[in-house]
């Protein structure tokens, strides 16, 4: 037999803590509201209260308490039951269930205005293949996962720029994770991070499939290594607030490879990257220009400091609201102090599927039509983008 006092103590302690948690979780969602969405939040109060009246019991006295904070609204529910032993014990169970219902209801109800606001900012570019030029508004996060597969079985000579066939095949897989976080109210500056994972594979058969790099036990190989190679901060900035076409991006990569053998394969130099991005859309066509300048320095062994300048142009056809086939062409040159400079001309073809401004898939293949003092790389890239 549970005494009245015991029930009151248990009910007050458990239920109050439960609804305190609901208050905190619900307030996180409500704090995202602005002047336009505050009426929705007040409507939410009445809707929740109505649902509480139905789901709980008419014998429950409930108090809906609201408090305004500079960043939004905080609302929580406090239930004061009338006293009967059985009724109080039943209400403990009902309260725990209702905690999940109210929290889920608040989250779903308030998420739609959040994405309506996001879409309204870039409505004109909603179905354009230039998301690299879009900066995240404050409170939004852009996540990009790039998957690159590179393979070669030949080298471009330094003198005559002809190819030298190799007796083996070299393949690399690289996964790049990029996060851009909106931190400014003016939507002109993003901060985030960038991380790289690499896997290297050298096959004794020059005609073998590059996909062997994913085999657990390939038949023939000289080398097979993997590592998280680098990580570091990055920024994305629109220097001209009223010009949505031009963006500057910069990243600094800190090497994580400590093993000497892996360093020979993946490198262990610091990298400072700078990207200058420009986009232009005219009718059915869209053009995207990208100029990358990377400076690599430090590292173990006798690795020279290097400066890479890579320029690439992309031309898209707006085939539909969601599908954009494209072609690409570029020129890159790498300056090295102790070695002869390298350069190459890649051309490519690709397809971008953009479900919405928030989600996109990008497929791109390129190879070199001419190079000098460089490997004859053939590259396939699969990129995924999401906004959260």
| Tens of pLDDT, residues 141-166 | 999 999 999 999 998 987 666 888 88
Lowest mean pLDDT among 83-87, 128-132, 192-196, 349-353: 83-87
Q: What is the reported pLDDT for 6?
A: 34
The pLDDT value recorded for residue 82 is 43
Q: In the predicted model, what is the mean pLDDT of the chain? A: 75
Q: Is the pLDDT of residue 122 over 70?
A: no
Of the listed ranges 70-74, 243-247, 323-327, the least confidently predicted one is 70-74
Give the integer Cα–Cα distance in Å for 276 and 273.
10
pLDDT band at 5 (very low <50, low <70, confident <90, very high): very low
Which of the given ranges, 159-163, 166-170, 269-273, has the highest pLDDT on average? Answer: 269-273
C-alpha 238/C-alpha 249 separation (Å) is: 9
- Secondary structure of residue 232 in the 3-state scheme: strand
Q: Work out the average pLDDT over 202-212.
A: 85
User: What's the pLDDT at 335?
Assistant: 93
Chain segment 71-96, per-residue pLDDT in tens:
333 333 334 444 455 555 565 556 55
User: Is residue 370 classed as helix, strand or coil in its secondary structure?
Assistant: strand
Has residue 229 got a pLDDT over 90? yes
Name the pTM for this structure.
0.69
Question: Smallest Cα–Cα separation from 37: which of 124, 111, 141?
Answer: 111
- Judge whether 11 and 81 are in contact, CB under 8 Å: yes
Residue count (the chain): 388
Class of domain 124-387: mainly beta
Collapsing DSSP states into helix, strand and coil, what is residue 235?
strand
The answer on pLDDT for 214 being more than 80 is yes
Average pLDDT over residues 5-22: 41
Provide the pLDDT for residue 219: 63
pLDDT of residue 292: 95
- Lowest mean per-residue pLDDT among 76-80, 200-204, 210-214, 293-297: 76-80
Q: What is the pLDDT of residue 106?
A: 47
Name, in order, each residue with C-beta under 8 angstroms of 50's C-beta and a sequence gap of 6 or more. Answer: none
Domain regions of the chain by residue span: 4-121, 124-387
Asked if pLDDT for residue 384 goes beyond 90, the answer is yes
Tokens of 74: 């905080």
CA separation, residue 332 to residues 66, 266, 277 (Å): 60, 20, 16
Alpha-carbon distances of 331 from 7, 222, 224, 278, 368, rounded to whole Å: 77, 32, 30, 17, 10
Q: What whole-number percentage of the chain has pLDDT above 70?
A: 64
Do 357 and 340 touch, CB atoms closer than 8 A?
Answer: no
358 close to 322: Cβ distance less than 8 angstroms: no
pLDDT in tens, 298-322: 888 778 899 999 999 999 998 888 8
pLDDT of 232 reads 97
As a whole number of Å, the CA-based R_g of the chain is 29
In 183-302, at which residue ranges do the beta strands (DSSP E only) sit?
189-203, 223-237, 246-255, 270-282, 285-297
The pLDDT of residue 120 is above 70: no
Structure-model confidence comparison of residues 156 and 41, the more confident one = 156
Burial (CB count <10 Å: 0-12, 13-18, 19+), residue 63: exposed
């Amino acid at each position: 037999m549970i005494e009245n006092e015991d029930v009151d103590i248990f009910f007050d302690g458990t239920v109050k803590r439960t609804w305190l948690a609901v208050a905190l979780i619900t307030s996180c969602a409500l704090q995202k509201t602005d002047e336009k969405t505050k009426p929705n939040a007040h409507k939410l109060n009445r809707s929740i209260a109505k649902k509480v009246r139905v789901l709980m019991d008419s014998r429950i006295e409930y108090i809906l308490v609201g408090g305004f904070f500079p960043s939004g609204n905080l609302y929580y529910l406090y239930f004061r039951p009338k006293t009967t032993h059985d009724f109080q014990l039943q209400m403990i169970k009902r309260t725990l269930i209702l905690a999940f219902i109210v929290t889920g209801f608040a989250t779903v109800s308030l998420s739609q205005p959040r994405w309506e606001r996001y879409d309204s900012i870039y409505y004109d570019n909603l179905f354009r293949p230039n998301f690299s030029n879009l900066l995240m508004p404050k409170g939004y996060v852009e996540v990009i996962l790039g998957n690159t597969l590179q393979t070669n079985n030949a080298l471009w000579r330094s003198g005559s720029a002809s190819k030298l066939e190799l007796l083996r095949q070299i393949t690399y897989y690289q996964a790049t994770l990029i996060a851009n976080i909106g931190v400014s109210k003016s939507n002109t500056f993003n901060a985030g991070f960038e991380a790289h994972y690499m896997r290297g594979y050298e096959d004794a058969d020059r005609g073998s499939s590059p996909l062997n790099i994913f085999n657990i036990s390939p038949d023939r190989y000289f080398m097979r290594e993997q590592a998280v190679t680098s990580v570091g901060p990055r920024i994305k900035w629109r220097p001209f607030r009223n010009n949505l076409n031009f963006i500057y991006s910069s990243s600094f990569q800190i090497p994580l490879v400590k093993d000497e053998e892996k360093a020979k394969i993946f490198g262990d130099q610091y990298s400072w990257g700078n990207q200058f991005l420009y986009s232009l859309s005219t009718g059915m066509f869209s053009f995207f220009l990208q100029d990358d300048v990377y400076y690599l320095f430090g590292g173990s062994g006798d690795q020279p400091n290097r400066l890479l300048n890579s320029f690439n142009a992309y031309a898209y056809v707006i085939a539909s609201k969601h599908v954009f086939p494209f072609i690409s062409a570029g020129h890159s040159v790498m300056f090295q102090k102790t070695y002869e400079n390298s350069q190459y001309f890649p051309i490519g073809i690709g397809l971008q599927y953009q479900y919405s401004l928030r989600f996109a898939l990008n497929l791109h293949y390129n190879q070199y039509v001419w190079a000098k003092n460089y490997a004859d790389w053939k590259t396939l890239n699969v990129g995924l983008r999401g906004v959260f």
